Structure 1
Amino acid sequence: MNKMETLLEAVETAINAENTNIEYHEKQLAYHSEYHTKAKEESEQRKATLIRELSLLKELLDEVPA
């Protein structure tokens, strides 16, 4: 194998390694996006629950004689 063939092979190997790296990062981005979307939705649900509970507590306090 001459120097040009060796160089071409090295570049092809580097390109394949970068493709693998890109695929890994794409998978990580998809996972984190899904994780954070789910976490945000859960937080919004907890917030809605807390708002309902606060409203109920305020109603109960309004019924308590001063």
Structure 2
Amino acid sequence: MWVGVKKGLDISSYLSSPGVPDQRDTNENTNGRIRCTYPKGTKFGSKPKNDINDFLLNFNQVPRKVLIK
């Protein structure tokens, strides 16, 4: 699937190596920020939708540093 997208849009892509979290800085940072509020193993189906929406609204409004390589 991604090969078709890559060819169709004529873009380069990058996939990190399995088991190397240093290559996924933004993802690891985001996971850490989420875990401050919702610990690992949280069952989101049991959380009120309003609580999750409020969290996401606040979460997405916090500016983040972006590294461009």
- TM category, shorter: under 0.3
Rg (Cα) greater in structure? 1
Q: Which has the higher contact order (CA 8 A, sep 6+)?
A: 2
Q: TM-score, normalised by structure 1?
A: 0.25
TM-score after normalising by structure 2: 0.24
